């Protein structure tokens, strides 16, 4: 009898969505969404504001959650042991 193997749930970093470093006004969330979907960043920003204002603050809560949970571009989200830099060889 075999036991079923559980597959880990994909993380946000696996989905390819990262906060933008270059196209940001506040935290880069809308710039990252625009880069991932291919939309204009200003259109994404307008939609985020409209959702925050007319969506009973759902857009604002989603933006803050993405700011806290989504890693920035160029930042490795993998948590693992930190390896110290290699020491130069001694010249004794």
Q: What is the pLDDT of residue 43?
A: 92
User: What is the distance between the alpha carbons of residues 54 and 74, in angstroms, rounded to a whole number?
Assistant: 34
What is the C-alpha radius of gyration for the chain, rounded to an integer number of angstroms?
20
Q: Give domain limits for the chain.
A: 15-69
pLDDT at residue 46, as a whole number: 92
Tokens 């042991």, residue located: 81
**Residue 79, pLDDT above cutoff 50:** no
24-45 residue pLDDT tens: 788 888 888 888 888 898 998 8
Would you say 13 and 77 are in contact if contact means Cβ atoms under 8 Å apart? Answer: yes
> pLDDT at position 80, please?
39
Residue with tokens 């970093």: 13
Question: How many residues are listed for the chain in this entry?
Answer: 92
Q: What is the pLDDT of residues 12-27, one digit of tens each?
A: 445 577 877 777 788 8
CB neighbours of residue 32 within 10 Å: 25
Cα–Cα distance measured from residue 15 to residue 66, given in angstroms and rounded to the nearest whole number: 13
């Amino acid at each position: 009898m075999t036991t079923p193997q559980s597959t880990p749930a994909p993380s946000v970093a696996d989905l390819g969505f990262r906060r933008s470093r270059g196209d940001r006004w506040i935290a880069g969330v809308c710039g990252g969404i625009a880069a991932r979907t291919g939309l204009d960043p200003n259109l994404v920003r307008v939609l985020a504001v409209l959702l925050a204002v007319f969506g009973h603050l759902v857009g604002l809560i989603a933006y803050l959650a993405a700011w806290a949970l989504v890693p920035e571009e160029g930042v490795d989200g993998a948590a693992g042991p930190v390896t110290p830099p290699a020491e130069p060889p001694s010249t004794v």
